Amino acid sequence: MIKIYHYGQVGDEEIFARVDMVTNVETVVTEILANVRENGDAALFEYAAKFDQVQLESLEVTQAEIDEAFAAVEPEFLEVLREAAANIRAFHEKQLRNSFLLNNKDGVVIGQKVTPIEKVGLYVPGGTAAYPSTVLMDSTPAKIAGCGQIVMVTPPGKDGKVNPAILAAAKIAGVDRIFKVGGAQAVGALAYGTETVPKVDKIVGPGNAFVAEAKKQVFGKVAIDMIAGPSEILVVADATADPRFVAADLLSQAEHDKMASAVLVTDSYDFAEQVSRELEHQLPLLPREEIARTSIDNNGKIIVAEGNLMLAIDIANRIAPEHLELCVDNPFDYLDKIKHAGSIFMGKYCPEALGDYFAGPNHTLPTSGTARFSSPLSVDDFVKKSQFTYYTADALKAVADKIACFARKEGLDAHAKSAVIRFEDEA
């Protein structure tokens, strides 16, 4: 059963405790990455047999496999995929940045040039669930940014095939190449390249502890989006909310995995008890009851800020959740009060699942409190920026002594010389 805490009556260490992310995978991941770096495709085939229990004949998904999967997916789901993709595209197109140029001084031109990342790798999880939504969320901003090649990796099933829904989403999204590789070895393949899998410049997408650790270890060799922890939801609700809705929303994250975190912060103890009872009613109805039950019992909590909704919002800001639902009337009255959250869901008819699949904003979000300083995946993640500077001789001459003054203050005489040497013959 979910724990209920009265804020102010228990210590902050209990109120704000997070799921312990300590794992013992570092050494294993290091060995996997070294094997992939040294042995390439052979290591990937080895790990497919070891971890996925499948003897693959080839690593890359063929066009025939994609077409077969597309034909196997229900037409109604294909239409849902297309509509979701359109919503995601419309949202992310607004994020496009333009290069800029400033020339408001005589002889001076400065600016910034925005360039797409050339090759990006998308990690799409498999395991206990398949996520075609992640394909759309991660590939769409990359396509909008103009990335030259989008390479997707995802674990195969024991039949050696990729889930048809994932392949259908990849086709709709315009993914260029797809490989049947999962786990830390997939991250290694993208980071180092193999005989078959191309080396990329950036890796994005969520995964398990092995994937997260692998991304951490290859960072610097390639760029990454973030180190994703377990899924999180925090609901801020007052007594006017429907406890059935709130319980269902909490369970929508609890069913992800046993490490997921579901938190309610409310200004009413009576409402907290209603939600607790509703959770117990809804849990046995879930196909993934065991996973959701473990999450709720071990990591779930209800925090009561009795009679003080603004305190509830302050608590939410301290937690800085991945997903935050404002299940209150007039949610826009409180939007400016939310300082730290990955994605905010406004009102009583905006479940977090809407953002997972359909609305348009991205669902690859900062977790584990990193919403204090991180942002959702966006078009910005798939571009890089270069600065440029142009000065005429007269423009440089006007400031050369100032540059030299600054350089000498830092003890860098060669810097100073590089500015003034151009005009020494004029003296």
Catalytic (active-site) positions: 322-323
Q: How far apart are CA 93 and CA 208, in angstroms?
A: 30
